A and B are shown apart, each in its own frame.
Chain A
Amino acid sequence: MGQVTLKVWRGNSESGQFQEYTAEAGEGMVVLDAVHQVQATQAPDLACRWNCKAGKCGSCSAEINGKPRLMCMTRLDDLPPGEVITVEPMRTFPLMKDLVTDVGWNYEVKKQIAPFAPRKADHRDGTWKMHQDDADRVQEFRKCIECYLCQDVCHVLRDHHKHDQFVGPRFLVHLAQVEMNPLDTGDRIADTKNKHGIGYCNITKCCTNVCPEGITITDNAIIPLKERVVDEHYDPVMMLLRLVLPKKKSGQRSAVSGQETHG
């Protein structure tokens, strides 16, 4: 492939600038390899977070040619040949140094979400019985590697900085994961509307487009949650029906056996 030119953001929380570097590109190389080469040969102080180099740890999130992507999963030969490759840190989070951002806000957000609250165990040995069909839906959400690329691309956080009112697509996926779990007894719908700000999402599908795990964030997590919010807060017929027919959460089902044991 020859040489590639990288335009890498260098700076800290105060100021910064793009700096150009060149790297020898070999077959199968990814952007993270090129950044490591720059670190090894030209800029030993270049800060870059990475870990698995296999698209599973979610550490090397950055913006490559303006698109949020994992550096370790972006092959150089997939980028336009002969053009300078721009590598920037994620814009949604405070910059620490060069390509490394402080994603600590996400950990604080997660603490605010009511945790998974399973029903009483179905069996005396503390286990539950659930149908694979019911598990399938939430298993998709468990693929999340918390790379926060979806948070980065979400314009509500990225451009409008609604960090104090909106949890972002990553945590709407998390909410869907616990809320739709057949074993869960919790009810987070009021929080999803009021505290976690689902109404701010205007369904651009940018989060779905950048997810390296291919989670259908908008269609399978956010919109179903929006519909559950409609059920409880905007649909007068559903609200009326709920008065007549009390809401039946999975945890209120009769367990198969051994109800006195806890998981």
Chain B
Amino acid sequence: MAAVSLPLARKFGETARRDRWWLTPLLVVAGFGSFIVYATWAALQGQHYWVNGTNYLSPFYSPELWGNSPHAWFGKSPSWWPAWLPYSPAIFILWAPAGFRMTCYYYRGAYYKAFWADPPACSVGEPRKGYIGESNWPLRIQNIHRYFLYVAVLFIFLLAWDALQAFRFADGFGIGVGTLVLCVNVVLLAGYTFGCHSLRHLVGGRKDCLSESPGCKAMHTGCSALNRKHGLWAWMSLFSVMFADVYVRLCSMGIWKDIRLI
């Protein structure tokens, strides 16, 4: 082999790794990408987001501020909404969970690698020479994460209320498959939200002497326990929220029939 000069400049994708390093970024692109496409489509539909005869409401549309379903807080779609613009109640609320996930520390690491190839995988060559990371704008905006967290925590309580409502049917108390879908969804979303790195910091991580505040210590311990598998919670909750919308949508369209268990 011919002698080469050092340091070795590496091209995009160049590595001595022998494992399938490209698989994880590929799965992230497929998983996150398909979610973004589906969520955008579903959010713009503005229909089939609740099921008649039940209290099932799609998490993509909760809380419904203005809308046509019985779940709307302030009645029908607002009169000031431009007539030429298609209306969907999801437009008012989806910015919050979207912002929470886009600025999430776990997702940041995952999509910087998968979508920006920055780097494509550990010790694999990058396509660009320039780099500012999060040290300057525009990515400095990621520091806003904790504000999205505050809204996300509020949403957990609202979705928990929706899940409780899903036990109420036209003929009284009951449990359907949809009830279970909405309950599992809120548990997974709570596991993801309450394991957030920012929350872990705010409830106690910011203190050097946690032992002085037993309440903070307990919350920090709980957050840390969830935080250890934050990535897993992130993916499980992403797919569960998508599935919950698919379930409600297909039941609403009459393609699937909700099975009453009790």
Interface of A with B (CB < 8 Å)? 11, 13-19, 63, 65-68, 80, 83, 86, 88, 91, 94-95, 130-131, 133-134, 137, 153, 155-156, 158-160, 162, 165, 180-182, 184, 197, 199-206, 209-210, 218-219, 223-224, 226-231, 234-235, 249-250, 253
Contacts and interface: CB of A to CB of B under 8 A. Distances in A.
Contact of A204 (B109, B130, B132, B209): B109
Nearest to B15: A66
A188 B228 CA distance: 26
Q: What 6 pairs between A and B have smallest CB-CB spacing?
A: A199-B135, A66-B16, A66-B17, A206-B122, A131-B211, A227-B201
A206 B7 CA distance: 21
Contacts of A182: 208-209
Nearest to B106: A203
A17 B2 contact: yes
Interface of B: 1-8, 10, 15-18, 105-106, 108-109, 112-113, 118-119, 122-123, 125-126, 129-136, 139-140, 143-146, 197-198, 200-202, 205-206, 208-212, 217, 227-228, 230
B17 A203 contact: no
B16 A156 contact: no
Chain A: interface secondary structure?
mixed
A16 B4 contact: yes
Contacts of A228: 201, 206
Given A15-B5, A159-B10, A201-B133, 20 more contacts: A15-B4, A65-B17, A66-B123, A91-B8, A134-B208, A134-B211, A155-B126, A180-B208, A199-B133, A203-B109, A204-B109, A204-B113, A227-B146, A227-B205, A229-B143, A230-B146, A234-B144, A235-B146, A249-B208, A250-B208
Nearest to A201: B133
B140 to A, nearest CB: 7
A65 B20 CA distance: 12
A133 B17 contact: no
19 contacts: A15-B6, A16-B3, A68-B123, A95-B7, A156-B131, A159-B125, A199-B133, A199-B140, A201-B133, A202-B109, A202-B139, A203-B112, A209-B122, A219-B227, A224-B201, A227-B198, A230-B146, A231-B206, A250-B208
A201 B134 contact: yes
Nearest to A220: B224
Contacts of B197: 219, 223-224, 227
B209 A253 contact: yes
Given A134-B208, A228-B206, A202 B123 contact: no
A67 B17 contact: yes
A260 to B, nearest CB: 22
Contacts of A181: 208
B221 to A, nearest CB: 9
A184 B208 contact: yes
Given A66-B18, A199-B134, A209-B122, A91 B7 contact: yes
A88 B139 CA distance: 34
A106 B135 CA distance: 21
Nearest to B113: A204
A15 B126 CA distance: 23
Nearest to B202: A227
Nearest to A222: B105
A80 B139 CA distance: 40
Contacts of A68: 123
A197 B135 contact: yes
B6 A14 contact: yes
B11 to A, nearest CB: 11
B123 A206 contact: yes
A23 to B, nearest CB: 19
Contacts of B227: 219
Contact of B211 (A133, A160, A200, A227): A133
